[in-house]
Amino acid sequence: MKADEIMQLDRAHVWHPYSGMGDELPVFPVASAQGVRLKLADGRELIDGMSSWWCAIHGYNHPQLNEAVQLQLHDMSHVMFGGLTHQPAVELAARLVEITPEPLQSVFFSDSGSVSVEVAMKMAIQYWQAKGQKGEYKNKQKFISLRSGYHGDTLGAMSVCDPETGMHSLFSEVLSKQYFVDAPSCRFGEPCRDEDILQLKKLLENKHDNIAALIMEPIVQGAGGMRFYSAEYLQRAKKLCEENNVLLILDEIATGFGRSGKLFACEHSKVTPDIMCVGKALTGGYLSLAATLTSREISQTISQHEPGVFMHGPTFMANPLACKVALASIKILLNSPWQKNIQRIEQRLISGLSACEQFDSVKEVRVLGAIGVVEMKQAVDMQSLQPQFVEQGVWVRPFGKLIYLMPPYIMDEKDLAYLTSAVAAVISKLT
């Protein structure tokens, strides 16, 4: 099909994320992708600064990932996971247990990050119900979340996203009412003062009988604001959870597999959650797959008490193709000098984006690991801004006040320099 034919059918029938049918936001048809480049249907090539919403950490059309999918296709593309199992899922579960903090021993697979959060929330509630068969924990049905947090677009996950600055205020009447505390004011690299944690401390002390878990994005708050907060805050939050008999759920969907400079962002704090969610980069951007990991204490408590099973079961749970390519992606990552790569990208983002600090329209520039953020003083106009990035030969997808970069880990110095200079060039015109 020609590009104009694709676009005609797209506008007639396709509903894109965070868009209205028939709106004027630009859409660019992609013909192929290779390495860190997207090739548009009109022949233009764009350096991808987004890793396709943070998941394509090894770039596109990777030969080892391609091979993993092709090999698995010869055996089976899918089989239900109820009452059956298969080697890719078993190997992947064992690998995830090996590379995550030690108490996490039980792995529940799902098909997207949002669903892994739903699973984590249901797991926390069912744990307390199972643990308190005499009814002593029957009221532990609520969650605490941080403002500026984001955990997905399904109903349960939406309820723990920021209710005011998030994307889900339209649904406030149908969502479960949760508890929220202010986002940490102590920044990454700074200590956490008593006043920084006081609001969370008081809420846990006063409401712990009703709270199943605290859910947080460790160190990096992603789509809710791209904020980086103190590692000590997470340490103190974990201690408060332990003191008040509340579980800690860490949402590592955006941060897992090296993005923040640690394999998992909780390692910055040396904190182990009771439940952890992973997704996005798990398969290197090839197929949708997520996992919720928990301790044997939680999985055994749920399994040994009424009703004796965990009440969840996605149709495409542990899809063999996805599990096989996830194993290959993790192997590629861990066999590479990924820490040095992240440090290299971090230094290039710092140096390349620092030029943006001089512009009047810019509020702040911040970088952590392979994440670079330019926060504007005002929300950007996507309709005019997106084509400007394309004209510069880069793919950057801003939202709200944020123009940010999460490049694939394989991006070289030349492309990183070009990417950051293109961002600075576009922002300079906004001043």
pLDDT (tens place) for every residue of the chain, 431 residues total: 888 999 999 999 999 998 888 777 889 999 999 999 999 999 999 999 999 999 999 999 999 999 999 999 999 999 999 999 999 999 999 999 999 999 999 999 999 999 999 999 999 999 999 998 778 899 999 999 999 999 999 999 999 999 876 666 788 889 999 999 999 999 999 999 999 999 999 999 999 999 999 999 999 999 989 999 999 999 999 999 999 999 999 999 999 999 999 999 999 999 999 999 999 999 999 999 999 999 999 999 999 988 889 989 999 999 999 999 999 999 999 999 999 999 999 999 999 999 999 999 999 999 999 999 999 999 999 889 999 999 999 999 999 999 999 999 999 999 999 999 999 999 999 96
Sheet holding 142-146, edge to edge: 104-110, 290-295, 275-278, 247-251, 211-216, 142-146, 179-181
Residue 18 falls in the annotated catalytic set: yes
Task: Supply the pLDDT for residue 168.
Answer: 65
How much is the pTM?
0.97
Residue 251 falls in the annotated catalytic set: yes
Task: Supply the pLDDT for residue 41.
Answer: 95
Residues 105 and 131 in one domain: yes
User: What single-letter amino acid sits at 394?
Assistant: V
Residues 174 and 248 in one domain: yes
Task: Supply the pLDDT for residue 172.
Answer: 82
Task: Supply the pLDDT for residue 164.
Answer: 79
Task: Supply the pLDDT for residue 136.
Answer: 87
Residue 95 forms part of a structural domain: yes
Task: Supply the pLDDT for residue 429.
Answer: 93
Task: Supply the pLDDT for residue 167.
Answer: 62
Task: Supply the pLDDT for residue 202.
Answer: 98
Among 334, 363, 378, identify where a domain stops: 334
Task: Supply the pLDDT for residue 353.
Answer: 98
Catalytic: which of 111, 251, 274, 415? 251
Catalytic: which of 140, 201, 280, 324? 280
Degrees (nearest 5) of the Cα angle 133, 212, 144?
165
DSSP string, 23-52: -------EEEEEBTEEEETTS-EEEESSHH
Residues 148 and 268 in one domain: yes
Backbone angles phi, psi at 339, to 5 degrees: -60, -45
Residues 91 and 118 in one domain: yes
Among 334, 368, 402, identify where a domain stops: 334
Among 334, 350, 381, identify where a domain stops: 334
Strands 211-216 and 142-146 come out as parallel
Whether the Cβ atoms of residue 380 and residue 403 lie closer than 8 Å to each other: yes
Residues 274 and 232 in one domain: yes
Structure confidence by residue, pLDDT tens digits, 151-171: 999 999 999 999 876 666 788
The total number of structural domains in the chain stands at 2
Task: Supply the pLDDT for residue 166.
Answer: 60
Residues 309 and 387 in one domain: no
Catalytic: which of 150, 229, 286, 404? 150
Please tell me the distance from the alpha carbon of residue 185 to that of residue 329, in angstroms, as a whole number. Answer: 35
Q: Domain residues for 424?
A: 3-61+337-428
Task: Supply the pLDDT for residue 18.
Answer: 86
Residues 288 and 354 in one domain: no
